[in-house]
């Protein structure tokens, strides 16, 4: 029985060691718990900056800085007489009417870009360029540019939008001074002088966009938004009509579709946004309208009405007088002297003007 005291002592010693270890473990555990609680409390009281991010006050992302820069541009005002930038476009046989329109809207303060599409023969495009170059005023002021790259432009197709954006890019690339952009066709003719037009725009905010717009509804919503078309002008070298596919697509849910006149008067700030597209929305809308019938009547309209910074700047008028049949046909009526008294006050441009040929005199009346 001598072994019993030894065994009891050993057991007691072991228990003491275990008790010491347990106390040590318990102490460490309690210490870690206190530290954890302190850290957790500190985290709750002083949250990381990312927990307080908001769309309104966000200094962590580049878009917020760009938006602030855009807002400062929109808030800016100028006491100077504004400058206008024109795109005058035409197709085969339109060179004379393009020169007529150019001369009618010409002013030394403005900028002009002329585009004669690829359907026109090279001779006609060269004659247009030579007509501009031979004009002494155009040559001295150097504010008229003829696009050397002729694009295929398909009626109702996205190639019309692509051509317009290219002209805007040229005007921005050359750092030209202008406030509003106006797109015209060879069939357009001004109803007021450029001096009067500049006077009118001088009394307006530089942020106002004139673009007829309304939500796409009814038969247009089903026929245009759900249909899918392909513009051969994007990949062929010869002009053909747009192609319709048998498939249909669903309506977009991330933005609302708008429609209106293809003729617009847009501010430089909005078009800079359309070209640069720092939030990618302009490119998203452009890609969507690539397969959209009559995209010139929807691209800018949908873009401006779905952009928070610009939707309040859109005035629902295209500043054009256009005579339509009732119900409207595919194209407007050609204007003549009988329409003179019907032209509305407030319109700056009328279309479409016919090219009248006086065969007996052997000349063309422009």
CATH number at residue 110: 3.90.550
- Whether residue 16 is contained in a domain is answered as no
Q: Give the separation between CA 14 and CA 1, rounded to whole angstroms.
A: 21
Q: Per-residue pLDDT tens for 200-211?
A: 999 999 999 999
Beta bridge partners of 185: 89
Domain of 108?
81-319
- Whether residue 75 is contained in a domain is answered as no
For residue 146, report the phi and psi dihedrals to the nearest 5 degrees: -105, 125
Which of 48-52, 83-87, 248-252, 319-323 is the least confident region?
48-52
pTM above 0.85, yes or no: no
What the block records as the tokens of 42 is 């500190």
Task: Kindly give the pairing relationship between strand 349-351 and strand 189-190.
Answer: antiparallel
- Whether residue 8 is contained in a domain is answered as no
- Whether residue 296 is contained in a domain is answered as yes
Task: Kindly give the pairing relationship between strand 111-116 and strand 144-146.
Answer: parallel
Total domain count, the chain: 1
- Taking the CA atoms of residue 326, residue 331, residue 333 and residue 335 in that order, the dihedral angle to the nearest 10 degrees is 140
Q: Per-residue pLDDT tens for 23-72?
A: 544 454 544 544 444 444 444 444 445 445 555 555 655 655 555 555 55
What's the pLDDT at 343? Answer: 79
Rg (CA), the chain: 34
Q: Is 64 exposed, middle or buried (0-12, 13-18, 19+ CB in 10 A)?
A: middle
- Which 8-state DSSP code applies to residue 313? G
Q: Give the separation between CA 44 and CA 53, rounded to whole angstroms.
A: 16
- Whether residue 9 is contained in a domain is answered as no
């Amino acid at each position: 029985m001598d072994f019993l005291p030894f065994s009891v002592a050993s057991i007691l010693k072991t228990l003491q060691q275990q008790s010491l270890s347990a106390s040590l473990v318990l102490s460490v555990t309690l210490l870690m718990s206190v530290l954890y609680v302190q850290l957790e409390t500190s985290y709750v009281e002083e949250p990381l900056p990312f927990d307080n991010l908001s769309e309104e006050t966000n200094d962590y992302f580049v878009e917020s800085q760009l938006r602030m820069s855009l807002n400062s541009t929109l808030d800016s005002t100028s006491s100077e007489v504004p400058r206008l930038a024109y795109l005058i476009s035409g197709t085969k046989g339109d060179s004379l009417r393009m020169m007529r329109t150019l001369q009618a809207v010409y002013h030394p303060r403005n900028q002009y870009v002329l585009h004669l599409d690829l359907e026109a023969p090279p001779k006609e495009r060269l004659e247009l360029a030579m007509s501009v170059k031979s004009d002494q005023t155009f040559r001295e002021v150097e504010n008229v540019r003829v696009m050397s790259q002729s694009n295929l432009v398909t009626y109702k197709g996205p190639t019309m939008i692509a051509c317009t954006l290219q002209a805007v890019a040229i005007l921005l690339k050359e750092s030209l001074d202008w406030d509003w952009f106006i797109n015209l066709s060879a069939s357009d003719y001004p109803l007021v002088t450029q001096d009067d037009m500049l006077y009118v725009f001088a009394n307006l905010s530089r942020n106002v966009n004139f673009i007829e717009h309304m939500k796409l509804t009814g038969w247009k919503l089903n026929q245009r938004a759900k249909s899918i078309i392909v513009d051969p002008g994007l990949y062929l070298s010869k002009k053909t009509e747009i192609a319709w596919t048998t498939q249909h697509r669903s309506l977009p849910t991330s933005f609302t579709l708008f429609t209106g006149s293809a003729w617009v008067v847009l501010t430089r700030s909005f078009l800079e946004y359309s070209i640069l597209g720092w939030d990618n929305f302009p490119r998203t809308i452009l890609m969507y309208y690539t397969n959209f019938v009559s995209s010139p009547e929807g691209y800018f309209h949908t873009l401006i009405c779905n952009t928070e910074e610009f939707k309040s700047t859109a005035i629902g008028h295209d500043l054009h007088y256009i005579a339509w049949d009732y119900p409207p046909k595919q194209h407007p009526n050609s204007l003549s002297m009988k329409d003179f008294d019907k032209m509305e006050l407030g319109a700056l441009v009328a279309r479409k003007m016919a090219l009248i040929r006086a065969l007996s005199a052997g000349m063309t009346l422009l």
